[in-house]
Amino acid sequence: MALIDIRKNRIKKRSNLKTQKKDPYPIYLKRTCSAADTHKNFEKFASAEKTIVLVGRMMTLREHGGSAFFDLRDGGGDFQIYAKKDTLGDKAYNEFLEYFDIGDFVEATGVLFKTKKGEETLELQSFKMLTKSLLPLPEKWHGLTDVEERYRKRYLDLLMNDEVSKIFRTRSRIIASTREFLHKEGFMEVETSMLQPIPGGASARPFKTHLKALDMDLYLRVAPELDLKKLLVGGFEKVFEIGRSFRNEGMDHMHNPEFTSLEFYWAYSDYKEVMKFSEKLFVHIFKAIGVYPKLENEGKSINLKPPWPRVEFTVLFQKYLDIDYESLDRDALVDRAMKLGINIEKHLNKGQVADLIYKKAIRPKILEPTFVIHHPTELAPLAKPLPDNPKYDARFQLIINGWEVVNAFSELNDPVLQREFFEEQEKQRVDGDEEAQRLDETFLEALEYGMPPAAGFAFGVDRLTALLTNSHSLREVILFPTMRQK
């Protein structure tokens, strides 16, 4: 039957139910326990001949003469229901077969028993329509070749594909375990603005919008960093935020225009202390989702046990590409990049050229958890330079299986030097770098009141979830990823 005919038929059933004064979308319902609880307490409930009321979506329907079996699914799993004409009576049984379809939500009341095959089952004594579905569930969802259709109709993807549902349950546990750990360590969770007059906190192209009430242009935040550091000025010593940021940039398996990140800022700390703290935090997360001490990803076994090696950014160039970073100027580095097939835009400085080479030719080769430390100063205008070598920052990134999982550094709290870095960023912007950071006077003013020595830390929730669930793309771990309209 064509989809349009199925829908017409179900709309007719809905109308007939309403004609009979039976609401196909009632307000009130009864539920005594979930499918999971019923399985867990089956023997106790069955021996007591306790009447059970289950609710959920009908996922299957198998009729056998005067009886029928169907599976009812709620948030905790499936439970088999047995509808028998002799028990329900002819009228009720026929009504069930006439008006109820796969996809409908049902209230099922009955007692428990086991079939001859040992299947835990509820024998139906009465039933009630909770939601009449007008469209049928897909029959061949698992073999769907149009992956974008899965993302567009994520609700069906979750319903029909248990592995997808597991990914998002894992994502939830990652966030919950992160909160648990940080709260235990004395961090306070805060919320900062998503609409900002100046986009700051990261090198990224922002989304622009307009606030009619004040007739002013605003930007969706690219990072919460600057607001969070203002809280350090205000006397909070340990703060964190889990929330959305937005970047108007390219899309690939590692990037989505909107994404979720965790950022924390820790007064009287430094990047070395945060590296040790990171190991503890991630081991806590790994254990919470059951992947410690080894992670299986894309056929590779990754040892997650710390301590994790600390490797200088420039040492990686020597190790993987036989490039002596210090001895080369920008043009010579560009030549090496071109030989590697990496195109370089004219406005990029030496550090940015190195970063592109690193991302394309070095980072994918790093398998096990590794702290890459001391990046060129040009890459992070908000980071504090190393006191003994100010060409490099007191910074690290955590890399696992070629993915950048963490970006962190000792925070620059010298307002004069911060202004100089911002001014250099503005020059780069004039030269064509649309991702250059902006000079933010409100942040500089806050720094002039004094910000304590501190370290900042950020990880992408989407990336970490993709890594830990063996997902090939961020779109697999974002419930509703950004899609081109049909």
Average pLDDT over residues 26-53: 96
Q: Is the pLDDT of residue 261 over 70?
A: yes
Identify the pLDDT of residue 145: 66
Locate 89 and state its tokens.
């009576």
Beta strand segments in 224-348, E: 238-246, 258-267, 294-297, 300-303, 310-312
Domains observed in the chain? 3-131 (2.40.50.140), 155-308+368-476 (3.30.930.10)
- CA 295 – CA 468 distance, rounded (Å): 7
Instruction: Give residue 143's pLDDT.
Output: 62
Residue-wise pLDDT tens digits, 140-181 = 777 666 788 899 999 999 999 999 999 999 999 999 999 999
The average pLDDT across 31-56 equals 96
CB atoms within 10 A of CB 297: 20
Mean pLDDT on 93-106: 97
- How would you label 131-167 residue by residue, b for 16+ Cβ within 10 Å and e otherwise? ebbbeebeeeeeebeeeeebbbebebbebbeeebeeb
Q: How far, in Å, CA of 468 to CA of 369, rounded?
A: 13
Query: 347 pLDDT band (50/70/90 cuts)?
Result: confident
Residue 364 has pLDDT above 80, yes or no: yes
Kindly tell me if the per-residue pLDDT of 197 is higher than 80: yes
On the question of pLDDT at 280 being above 90, the answer is: yes
- Per-residue confidence (pLDDT) for residue 51, from 0 to 100: 96
Per cent of the chain over pLDDT 70 is 99
Distance in angstroms (rounded) separating the CA atoms of residues 253 and 111: 49
pLDDT at 323 over 90: yes
